[in-house]
Amino acid sequence: MKRLWIAILSLFLVQCSSAPLASKQMATPETVADLQWSEAQSRFERLSNIEYDLSLNLDQPGDEYSGTMKIQFDLSKNDQDLRLDFFEGTVTHLLVNGIALDLSAKKPYWIVLPSAHLIQGQNKVEIAYKQKYSKTGDGLHRFKDPEDSQYYLHTQFEPYDANRFMPCFDQPDLRATIKMQVAVPKHWQVITSVMETRKTAKGPVTIWEFPASPKISTYIYSLHAGPYKVFTDRYQDIPLRLFIRPALAKYLDTKEWFKITKQGLAYFGRTFAYPYPFKKYDQLVVPEFNAGGMENVAAVTYTEGVVPRSETTRSQRRQVAGLLLHEMAHMWFGDLVTMKWWNDLWLNESFATLMASMALSEATEFKEAWQDFAAGTKRGAYAEDALSTTHPIEAHVTRVKEAMANFDGITYNKGASVMKQLRYYMTPAAFEKGVQQYFKTHAYQNTQLKDFIASLQAQTDKDLTFWAERWLKQSGTDQIAASWTCEAGRLKSIGLELTPSTGARFRPQSFEVGLYGDEKGSLKSIDTVRADFVQPEKQTLRGDWACPAAVYPNKNDHAYVNVKLDTKSLDSLKKNLSGLDDALVRSLVWNDLWRMVRSSEMSLKAYIETVENNFAKETDQIILRQVVGTIQSWRGAILSYWPVTTEDQRKAKNDFRLKMEENFLARMKASKSGSDDEKFWFDSFLSVSESPRALDQAYEYFKSGRVSAKFPLDPDRRWSVVHLLKRFGHPKANEVFESARKSDPSDRGQKWALAAEAVVPQASVKEKWIQEFTKKDTQRSLADSQAVMYGLFPLEQLELKAKYEPLFYDYLAKNKKSEEEGRVRTVVFGLLPLRCEGAASGKLKSRLESEKEMNHSLLIAMKKSIEEDERCQRIRAAF
C-alpha cells in the first residue's frame, strides 16, 4: 500500500506541487527592485554551473566599499538578454566574454547582459563595482561601536538582498559556489560559509582568502567582518566558533551556548540520520540585526538582543536555546535542501520551528518546551489565522515582494503547528523516517512541496496528497466541540464534532480528548482518549468513566483547532483553572479564553473575572507570562480594550490597574531574592505602573540600585525605569535619565536613551523625532528609527498623536512604493492614526481599499492594524 500511494501521488502533482504559478506576467519595470516567478523560472531554464569569485576591499574610508566580481556560468540559449541582479551601486567596469560593455547596461536594480555578447555554453563576466554600506540591515550593514569607535560588518540577504551586496543571479534555485578574497584592517576577523585558507598581511591590511563554498543559494551566502571577539570549541570533528563584539562579550554565557550547540548537532544528526553537512559551525551575535537569527550556511547570525546584560532567567535561556536550535535545524532544512521558490518558504520555517521545540524537549533540560510552544507559537498562529489577511500555508507568490509579506504567523507559527499535527497524524516514527529519506534523496538540491510529501508518503498508508491539499491550500482554523451527559454518575459516550472554518472543506487530523474530575477542589485527569478524524463526520467516543467536571478535546495539543468548550466544562474551568493538574492544558485553556474575548464569544468583563478567580493562585511561569501579556497597558490587551467613554468606565479601569500594580508588587516582594519569580514580577510591575505611588517606588529602586539583596538592577532594567518615569513625566525623570546615560554609553544604552527621550509626552519632542525620521536623508540607522518610532506614542498619548494624521497620509502617499521598506514601515506604524475609534479606522480602511500601487508587505501590515483596531471597538462595545 505504501508504494501504491507514491504512484497515486504522481496523479495529483498539480494539486500538491509548488511550481505551477502564473507565467504570463509583464516584466518587472526597471524602476522596481523585484523579481517575478516567471522571470526566475526563465532564468533557471537557461543557466547552470554558476561560479562566483568575489574580491572585496573593506579597508576604505567613507561610506562605500569596492569589489570585483567574476562570474562563470553555462548558458543553454543566447537568444535573449540576461538579467544580473544588482541593487543600485555603481559599475565601473564590465566585461562579458572578454569584451568591454557600455556601462549603460547597469540599470537601477540590475545589469543587462546583452544576448549579442553571450554564447551557448560557458560564459565569463567580470564586474568592478562600488556599493554603499547599508544602514537598514539589508545587504552589507556597517555599524560603528560608540564605545570603541570600531566598525562591525554583517550581511543579511533573505529573501532578495544578496544583490544589494554583489552582482548575482539572486534566486534560491540557482545554486552556486562562491570564492572570496577580502581586504580588511589587520586586527579584524572575517567569517563566511567556509574557513579561510590563507591570510596575507600587506601593511595595515590583511587579505583573507576563502575557497569555493558548497553549491548553495544566494540568500544563505554571508560575509561578516570586524574586530569581533571569538570563542572556540569542538563537536566531534566540527570546529565551533562564537563571535561577539568585545563590549558585550562579558555578558555572553559561552558555556551555555556551546552546550546547546552540541546537544543540537547530536540530536539533529541522529534524528535526520544525516550528519551535520558542513565543515564548521560558526555563530555570530551582531549589532543592529533585523531579525532574531538567520541561517547563513555555517555562519549563523543573531541579534544582540539575545544577550541580556543580567543574570538570565530560565525563560530567557529557553528562548535563546530555541532560537539556536531553530537556526541549526535550517542547516539541513533550508541550506542542505532548499526550496525552489518563495511559496515554499513556509516549509523551511515551519520545519525549523517544529524541530527546535522537539530538540528542546528531547535533547535539553527544557522539557516544558511544548507548553511554551502552545503558549507562544501556536497562540500566535491562531491569532494570525483569524485575520482577514490570513492566507493558505502554501502562499501564492508571484514575485519576491509578495514573499516579504509572508514572513508572518502563518508561515512560521501555523506551519509549525500543522507540521506538529501531521507528525501525530502519521505517527512520530513514520514522520521521522520520511524526513530522513527526504534529506538522503534531495541533499544539495532545490525541492518543491511534492518532494517532501512524497518522502513522507512512502512511510504511511494515509493519503498525504489529500492531507496537503486540505491543510496547505486552505486558510482558517476549524472548530472542535465535545458534547456529553452523565447518567447515574457515569459517562458512557462523548460526541465530537469537527466543524470547518467558513468557506473551507474538511481537514483530517488526529488528537486526544482529556477527561478531568473534581477532587477536593482540584481538577485531576481521569483518562485520555485518541480521536482520528479521517472523514468529515461526527464521532462518538465510547467508554465507562466517572462523571468528569470538564472535558477538554485537545489534550497534549496535537490538533490545530479552536476548542469550543461545552457549558459545563467552561464553567468548571473558569472557576478552578488554577487547580487543573496539567500545566499544558491550563496554558491551552487560557489561550482559548483570550481567543474567545478577541472573537467576541466572551466579554472582556467575564475574562477579567476568570483572571481574578485564578491568577493569584497560579505559579507556573509560562502561564503567568501568558496572562500578564493579556493585561499589560499596551495595544491588544485588557487595559487597551477597556472602554473609557464614561467616568465610571475610566474609574473602573484605573481601579483594576491599581489592583494589578499592588498584586504584582506584592508577589515580587514575596518572592525569593534574586529568583526568576522576583525578576518576572518586577518587570510585570513596571509594565502596568502609572500611579504616583508606583512611579515613586520605581524611582526608589533606581536610586538604591537594587530591588533586593540578590537582585541588583542591571543596565536594561535601569533603563526600563527611566523610560517609565519619562513616559509619565515624573519629577525625577531627568535626574535618572542623565544618570543612566552617563553610566551606560553602550549602543544599547544609546538606543534606550533615544526611546526615553522620545516617549516624553510633549508635542515639541514628538515633532523633533518625526522630522528626523521622515526626511529622506536621515543619517540614523533603521535600528535608531525603530527605537524611537515604535514607542513614540504609548496608549495614553494617542490624542497627542492625532495632530500628525495629515502628515501620516502625506508620508504614506510619497513613500508607499519605496525600496527602503523597513524605514517606511517603521515610520508608518509610529504614526498610524488608529485609536480604537470608528472614524479613524474607517478613513484609513477606505484609503487602502482603493490602493493598487503600495508595497504588498506594507499594505498587508496596515490591514492587520486596522482589523486589530476594529476588534478593539467591538470588545469595548460588548464590555
- 40's CB contacts (< 8 A; 6+ apart) are 171, 173, 341
> So where are the chain's domains?
228-332, 339-472, 479-608
Give pTM, 2 decimals.
0.95
Please state the CATH superfamily assignment of the domain spanning residues 228-332 in this structure: Neutral Protease Domain 2 (1.10.390.10)
147 is catalytic: no
Residue 809 has pLDDT above 80, yes or no: yes
* pLDDT, tens digit (0-9, with 9 covering 90-100), for 464-518: 999 999 999 999 999 999 999 999 999 999 999 999 999 999 999 999 999 999 9
The DSSP 8-state label assigned to residue 603 in this structure reads -
Among 39, 327, 402, 678, the active-site one is: 327
Buried b (16+ CB within 10 A) or exposed e, 814-843: ebeeebebbbbbbbbbbbbbbbbeeebbee
Give the side-chain half-sphere CA count within 13 A for 339: 22
* pLDDT, tens digit (0-9, with 9 covering 90-100), for 137-169: 999 999 999 999 999 999 999 999 999 999 999
pLDDT at position 25 is: 58
Q: Give the pLDDT band (50/70/90) at residue 96.
A: very high
DSSP 395-429: ---SBHHHHHHTSSTIIIIIHHHHHHHHHHHH-HH
Beta bridge partners of 494: 541
Average pLDDT along the chain: 95
* Strand runs labelled E in 619-752: 706-708, 711-712
* pLDDT, tens digit (0-9, with 9 covering 90-100), for 555-566: 999 999 999 999
Residue 16 has pLDDT above 50, yes or no: no
Query: Kind and range of the H or E element at 51?
Result: strand 47-57
Residue 7 has pLDDT above 50, yes or no: no
* pLDDT, tens digit (0-9, with 9 covering 90-100), for 542-559: 999 999 999 999 999 999
CATH topology of domain 339-472: Neutral Protease; domain 2 (1.10.390)
> What distances in angstroms separate CA 88 from CA 10, 109, 137, one per listed residue?
44, 5, 16
Residue 24 has pLDDT above 80, yes or no: no
To the nearest 10°, report the CA torsion of 284, 287, 291, 293.
Answer: 10
pLDDT at position 230 is: 99
573/550 Cα distance (integer angstroms): 7
Query: Kind and range of the H or E element at 224?
Result: strand 224-226
* pLDDT, tens digit (0-9, with 9 covering 90-100), for 288-320: 999 999 999 999 999 999 999 999 999 999 999
Rounded mean pLDDT of 862-875?
A: 97
Residue 711 has pLDDT above 50, yes or no: yes
* pLDDT, tens digit (0-9, with 9 covering 90-100), for 238-274: 999 999 999 999 999 999 999 999 999 999 999 999 9
pLDDT at position 404 is: 82
pLDDT at position 802 is: 93
Between 838-849 and 856-877, two packed helices, what is the crossing angle to 10 degrees? 150
Beta bridge partners of 181: 55, 209
Residue 20 has pLDDT above 60, yes or no: no
* pLDDT, tens digit (0-9, with 9 covering 90-100), for 571-604: 999 999 999 999 999 999 999 999 999 999 999 9
Whether omega before 29 lies within 30 degrees of 0, making that bond cis, reads: no
Residue 48: other Cβ atoms inside 10 A: 13
- Same-fold call for 228-332 versus 339-472: yes
